[in-house]
Amino acid sequence: MKLLVKNIRGKEWFIFLLVMLSGLAQVVMDVTIPDFMARLTDILQSDRVVLGDVIREGSLMLLFAFLSLIIGLAGAYGVAVIAGLISMRIREQIFGKILDFSLAEVSDFGTASLITRCTNDVTQIQNVVVVVLIVAFKAPLSAVLAFGKIVGKNMIWTITMGVIMLFIMIVSLLVLRHIMPLMVRQQYETDDLTRFDGEHLRGIQVIQAFNSKRFHSARFQAANDRLNDTVKRSGYSFTFLSAFSNSMMNFFNLSVYITGAFIIMNSSPAEKTGLFSDLVTFSAYALIVMAAFVSLVQAYLSIAKAMASERRISEVLNAEVSIRDGAGNASGEETDSVLSFRNVSFSYPGASKTMLKDISFEAKKGETVAIIGATGSGKTTLLNLIPRLFDVSGGKILLNGKDIRDYTLFELRNRIGYIPQKSILFTGTIAENIDYGENGKLAAAIDDIRRAAGTGMADGFIREKEEGYSYRVSEGGRNFSGGQRQRLAISRAVCRDPEVYLFDDSFSALDFKTDREVRSKLRKEAKDAVMLIVAQRIGTIKNADRIIVLDKGSIAAQGRHAELMKSCGIYREIAATQLSEEEMKAYA
Amino acid sequence: MRDTVKLSDFIRPHRKALAAAVIMGMLSAVLNVSVPAFISRISDVIGRDLFGNINLAEVRKFGLICLLLIAGGFLFADLQNRIMVEVSRKFTGELRKALDDKVDRLPLHYFDIHVNGDTLSILTNDVNTLNQALLNGTIAPILSGVTMIGCLVLMFVTNVTMAVGSVLATLAGMFVMAFALAKTNPYVKRQQEVLGELNGDVSESLNGFVVIKSFNAEKDVRESFCKKNEEMFRDNLRAQFTNGIMSPLMGFSGNLGYVTVCIIGAYLIYAGTPGVSIASVIAFILYVRQFSTPLAILAGSLAQLQPAFAASGRIFGFLNEEEMPEAEAGKAAFPEKTEGAVEFDHISFGYVPEVTVIHDFSAVIKPGSKVAIVGPTGAGKSTLINLLLGYYETGSGTIRIDGTDISEVPKEDLRNRIGYVPQDVWTFEGSIKDNIRYMNDSLSDEDIDRIIGLAGLEHFVSMLPEGADTVLDENCSISAGQKQLITIARAMAKNAPILVLDEATSNIDTRMEKLVQAAVDELIKGRTSFVIAHRLSTIRNADLILVMKDGDICEQGDHRELMEKKGFYYELYNSQFESED
Ligand SMILES: Nc1ncnc2c1ncn2[C@@H]1O[C@H](COP(=O)(O)OP(=O)(O)OP(=O)(O)O)[C@@H](O)[C@H]1O
Ligand SMILES: Nc1ncnc2c1ncn2[C@@H]1O[C@H](COP(=O)(O)OP(=O)(O)OP(=O)(O)O)[C@@H](O)[C@H]1O
Ligand SMILES: [Mg+2]
Ligand SMILES: [Mg+2]
């Protein structure tokens, strides 16, 4: 509820007021128009029908009806505006919040769940807002108006009414208790469905190759069945309640007349006429009261139904973001290192194992630092710490002498050009993919984009496309070869003109020639930048100013190629798998 | 050409149940409507003997009838509800299943031009919208339709002139309504589309989250999302408004009808038309009042159905997407025992017709040989594999396995013969064991352990608290190299006669690669294998090396021959060892 109220702002409260007034006005109309109808009938039933009277009353009624129509239209407009605004804002807030998340929160919630929360859950809320806005003002007013006509008329009937309303209420609460967990489940099961199907879509190539669609269909089907079963049960409870309330209203009407018969029987003749006419009015108006009550109960139930979604949305909005901006003004130490690791250790959130232990190294302006190590030794993990995708668990990382946690995230990441191990591109043009994100400078001109693509050796194949830089990239870059994707990802980082480059095995899909050319161009273009290169190929890192050999999360050795060939067993082993015998001998 | 799939195909199996639901609904409506009639009989009984002895026996009798009617009305309504939720459960289930199955029959090209999140939205949001409409919007309009027809018949029987007048007034309302619905229809359609786009945006952003974060792209991404979100608001505003005005509009039209009839009635009485009595006019007026309630319900339902139609348009648009051509079963078949002879016969291919990627590619591969495909990035190596696996249709030329044209056998048969490690690794949510075993249920846990050992995963798995039963999901990510090893293990487990390794070891360190390579070499003995690799050391021992350049084979032969030739391969090979200037 708070979520809704918070999202109506300023002048929009006037629209809200308009909706309210229109609701009230419509109730008044609803009461008045039948009077006109009755009067028209009376005129027709009178002995001498005067056409003029009919036309006069008729036009008056039409005028009223027209007024009611206009008010109704205005009300409908208000409802549409408010419901639309609320859902738009909530959607925007969720997505904005997701973008503030760090990786840890995203994997906590799960991608699929965040997707559903952003669309499906908001739709649930919007539907309820509409119901509430339409019913919430009308029903109480018509209940009050109708109740005013019968209040104090007859204790027994009033009590009957109360008892039956109480009964409806109790049943509704029971239904509610039944529905609530179902609603929560329903949304989580929608997550499952999204997850399995997203998996199916992403893995389609492998799934087809392994003829494993049955395996995935079965998983999907199970999730599908679970969801549909839940929807069925909650759907049934809801319709049950409306059938039940309907019957109860009829039952109430009946009981008023039956008790009426007895009451009238046992009353004094003088009271009888009055009682009888009371009976008729009471039943008529009490039914209005009850109808209003029932629709209120149902509106309440819809709200409760949407509470599941509201809670899920609030969970996202109120989630604590683990990685936040630093103060930005702390002053660092005087140092000539651009990047320094000081006794850094790290373990993944929730994992007990320490992934990185006591990592220390320095990288000076214009230096290339290479990281090599076995599969799973923690190379990617180490790089991820620098743009603060995760925060160190111990020790610190300094950029230009200042702890990276003292920078604002924006400022820190502006200085970094990251090429992740998996080259991810986005739907959009090639140019948009290269000139991606912000780096605190002006948007790149087409020449800058070309230059970056040139450095990344992507310019060649881009030019071959008829559309050139406006060629459309599919989601994830599916319409490019593995090596082309990698070169685009490199160009994207180059376009930022960063102080620190992070290459995570970013040359693995390139042939050796391209690999070498890209690196030599980079070295020329970005003379002053620090390059951190994770690679498997000795050739790629041989000329680095410092090579760090990572072994099970610790630094086994660091130094230049020649030194390591002499001193580091692991490095020699790696080299032995790649170099010719003569080369190996040279270092023996 | 396949028949198009229609909504009615999914409704038809349930038509009996739906008919039953409508009948139950009508019975319930009739019973409920007759309750007030009997109550007014009670009222008459009381009124008749107001000052004498009220006939309590009669009151009791009518009371009992009412009770029965109420109970019956509830019962039928409940039955109707039960039937409807069951129908909706089945309908939704079947629809989603059809959608999910469809994914498997789409050509890969579909995924080149569509965003996954958008497709996902069809499966969740659009199906939901349609289901809600089915659940809440089918029976009510049918019931009101029937009531309206009933009223109309009675009205026309009573008096044609007044009936025409009232119908005209109603028609005027309907006309305005239809106009409004037609006007908003494009927006309602767009609304479902934008919802899909938003879904796509969120999904894509989450998949590329690392890049968004490290490139400070949050603002841009948010802006693009907000733009779509605002469009959603505008479309939604119109849709919701139209939805909201239905009821006031029909209310007015009902009142208009009422007044029209009163005036006509008054005129008829005034003119002394024969056969028109005051009583008949009053009766007629009652019909008119009864006529307007179902009208309002009908209007409300129609507005509700509109988004459902839009959703249904998207759902069936997807279901009718062109499918990957599939050979009829039995047209041709592979020989019982696969030898593994593969022949590329003048293959040409382009992902889009205008740009040819593979030009007239021919090669004959002897059974059991190890074939390496090398070449610079973008040469078309993976494309060739895509064709071999039947993901795309060749533009011209044929690929034969053991003499059989692969386009003439069912894809399933073809793929059963090929073990494949794709360039882009993919693991699904499930244990490491399941990821390796995949569809090979015959493999025992010991077999899996052996494969884990062969693929060099032993150490890694032993470090995990739950070993091979550790579930890979978003919370448990593993390194890229580890993922690749799992993918290799998966292909090993498949044990197919032909093996395809597309850059299978690109992210694996070279010491590990050597181990795995030995295992792979052991595995591919006697099988035909295709190996794509940039690290040429892995392919030195290949029986045949195909050197590709810009979609053509520029050289072929074994390592020794090609080195002697001192051509493109020689250059490529030596580039590994050149040191930097
Ligand atoms: N789905 C696609 N749609 C359109 N073009 C594509 C698609 N996939 C690949 N291409 C293009 O076809 C050409 C060949 O790509 P392919 O993936 O076969 O290269 P490759 O030889 O495997 O290169 P790499 O070594 O980089 O993986 C490239 O120019 C690429 O841009
Ligand atoms: N998000 C995560 N949560 C928990 N553990 C993780 C996570 N990501 C990786 N790991 C584990 O941490 C270890 C180091 O992974 P990392 O990705 O840093 O390896 P790597 O050196 O980059 O390997 P590769 O050469 O294969 O890319 C691996 O054992 C991996 O399973
Ligand atoms: Mg890595
Ligand atoms: Mg490739």
A74-84 pLDDT, tens digit per residue, is 999 999 999 99
Top mutation candidate among A480, A488, A508, A514 for ligand 1, by most atoms within 8 Å of CB? A480
pLDDT tens-digit readout, B230-257: 999 999 999 999 888 888 888 888 888 8
Tell me, letter by letter, the H, E, C secondary structure of B469-538.
Answer: HCEEECCECCCHHHHHHHHHHHHHHHCCCEEEEECCCCCCCHHHHHHHHHHHHHHHCCCEEEEECCCHHH
For residues B61 and A205, what is the distance between their CA atoms, to the nearest angstrom?
73
At B544, give phi and psi (nearest 5°): -140, 130
pLDDT, tens only, B294-339: 887 888 888 788 889 999 999 999 999 998 887 776 777 777 777 8
Residue B114 main-chain phi, psi, to 5 deg = -125, 150
Provide the percentage of residues in chain B whose pLDDT is more than 90: 38
For range B446-475, the mean pLDDT: 88
Cα–Cα separations (whole angstroms), residue A519 to A171, A320, A491: 73, 40, 12
Q: Judged by CB atoms within 8 Å, which residues 247-276 of B form the interface with A?
A: 247-249, 251-252, 255-256, 258-259, 262-263, 265-267, 269-270
Q: Whose CA is nearest to atom 29 of ligand 2?
A: A376
Helix A155-202 with A269-317: angle, nearest 10 deg:
20
Secondary structure in 3-state letters for A51-75:
HHHHHHHHHHHHHHHHHHHHHHHHH
Residue A346 is predicted with a pLDDT of: 95
Residue B563 contacts A, CB cutoff 8 Å: no
Q: What is the pTM of this model?
A: 0.91
Residue with tokens 């191990």: A421
Inter-CA distances, B75 with A58, A494, B411, Å:
42, 72, 53
The model's pLDDT over B268-303, given as tens digits with 9 standing for 90+, comes to: 887 777 777 777 777 787 777 777 778 878 888 887
Average of per-residue pLDDT across A247-255: 89
CA A460 to chain centre: 39
Q: How confident is the model at residue A70 (pLDDT cuts 50, 70, 90)?
A: very high
Q: Which of B111, B373, B381 to mutate to test the pocket of ligand 1 (most atoms within 8 A of CB)?
A: B381
CB pairs under 8 A between A and B: 529
Q: Which of A18-27, A189-198, B80-89 has the lowest mean pLDDT?
A: A18-27
pLDDT at B581 over 60: no
pLDDT at residue B442 greater than cutoff 70: yes
Residue ranges in B374-496 assigned as alpha helix (H): 381-388, 411-416, 432-437, 445-454, 458-463, 480-494
What is the pLDDT averaged over residues A4-18? Answer: 84
Residues B417 and B338 sit within 8 Å (Cβ to Cβ): yes
> What was the pLDDT predicted at A588?
64
Helix axes A120-150, A155-202, angle to 10 degrees: 170
A496 in Cβ contact with A439 (< 8 Å): yes
pLDDT the model gives residue A365? 92
DSSP string, A199-241: HHHHTHHHHHHTT-HHHHHHHHHHHHHHHHHHHHHHHHHHHHH
| Pairing status of strand A500-504 against strand A530-534 | parallel
Rg, C-alpha atoms of chain A:
36
Structure tokens belonging to residue A26: 């419509």
Residue with tokens 């046992």: A266
**What was the pLDDT predicted at B502?**
92
Burial of B498 (0-12, 13-18, 19+ CB in 10 A): buried
In this structure, the strands spanning A546-551 and A368-373 are parallel
**pLDDT tens-digit map of B143-160:** 888 888 888 888 888 788
Q: Phi-psi region for residue A505, left (φ > 0), alpha (ψ -120 to 50) or beta?
A: left
Q: How far is CA A547 from the centre of its chain?
A: 42
Taking an 8 Å cut-off on Cβ atoms, the answer to whether B252 and A68 are in contact is yes
Whether residue B522 is predicted with pLDDT greater than 90 in this model: the reply is no
Query: A336 falls in which pLDDT band (50, 70, 90)?
Result: confident
CA distance A41 to chain B (A): 7
A216-240 per-residue burial string, b: 16 or more CB within 10 A, e: under 16: bbebbbebbebbbbbbbbbbbbbbb
CA-to-CA distance for A190 and A120, rounded, in angstroms?
A: 9
Contact A258, B42 (CB under 8 A): yes
For chain A, the 3-state helix, strand and coil shares in percent, each to the nearest 5, are 65, 10, 25
What is the nearest CA distance from A536 to chain B, expressed in angstroms? 6
What mean pLDDT comes out for the span A254-271?
A: 85
What is the pLDDT averaged over residues A164-169?
92
Report CA-CA distances (Å) from A52 to A42, A43, B261: 14, 11, 15
pLDDT digits (tens, 9 = 90+) for A475-516: 989 999 999 999 999 999 999 999 999 999 998 888 888 888
Nearest CA owner, ligand 2 atom 22? A380
Q: Give yes or no for a contact between B500 and B313, defined as CB atoms under 8 angstroms apart.
A: no
Residue position matching structure tokens 């908003």 = B184
Q: Nearest to residue A458, comparing CAs of A371, A517, A400?
A: A517
Identify the pLDDT of residue A442.
66
pLDDT tens readout for residues A168-227? 999 999 998 999 999 999 999 999 999 999 999 999 999 999 989 889 999 999 999 999
Locate the chain B residue with the closest alpha carbon to A489: B211
Q: Is B391 in the pocket of ligand 1 (CB under 6 A)?
A: no
Residue A272 contacts B where some CB pair is shorter than 8 Å: yes
Where are any strands of DSSP class E within B69-205? none
CB B305 within 8 A of CB B133: yes
Asked whether the predicted pLDDT for residue B1 surpasses 70, the reply is no
Instruction: Judge whether A474 and B113 are in contact, CB under 8 Å.
Output: yes
Average pLDDT, whole number, for chain B? 87
By most ligand atoms within 8 Å of CB, the mutation choice from B111, B383, B423, B550 for ligand 1 is: B383
> Which alpha helices (DSSP H) does B208-356 contain, by range?
209-214, 218-270, 278-319
**Contacts for B343 with CB less than 8 Å, ≥ 6 apart:** B363, B364, B365, B399, B400, B401, B403
A residues 198..217 contacting B (CB < 8 A) = 198-217
The pLDDT tens digits of the residues spanning A440-480 come to 666 668 888 999 999 999 999 999 888 899 999 999 899 99
Residue A68 tokens read as: 């009611």
Question: Sign (positive/negative) of CA torsion A242, A244, A250, A255?
Answer: negative
Q: Which residue has the higher pLDDT, B283 or A408?
A: A408
Q: What average pLDDT does this structure show over B192-213?
A: 93
More confident: A89 or B138:
A89
**Average pLDDT of chain A to the nearest whole number:** 89
- For tokens 């009053």, name the residue: B282
Structure confidence at residue B580 (pLDDT)? 57
pLDDT of residue B2: 59
Cα–Cα dist B488/B416, whole Å: 16
What are the backbone dihedrals phi and psi of residue A390, each rounded to the nearest 5 degrees, phi first? Answer: -130, 155
Touching A: B residues 378-417, CB under 8 Å: 378, 381-383, 389, 391, 411-412, 415-416
Does A580 have pLDDT greater than 80? no
Nearest to B542 by CA among B511, B566, B520: B520
What is the C-alpha to C-alpha distance for residues A506 and A191, in angstroms, rounded to an integer? 33
Residues 6+ apart with CB under 8 A from A564: A547, A549, A557, A558, A571, A572
Handedness of CA A473, A474, A479, A480 (dihedral sign): positive
Sorting pLDDT into bands at 50, 70 and 90, what band is A155?
confident
Name the one residue in this structure whose structure tokens are 């790696």. Answer: A574
Question: What pLDDT is recorded for position A315?
Answer: 94
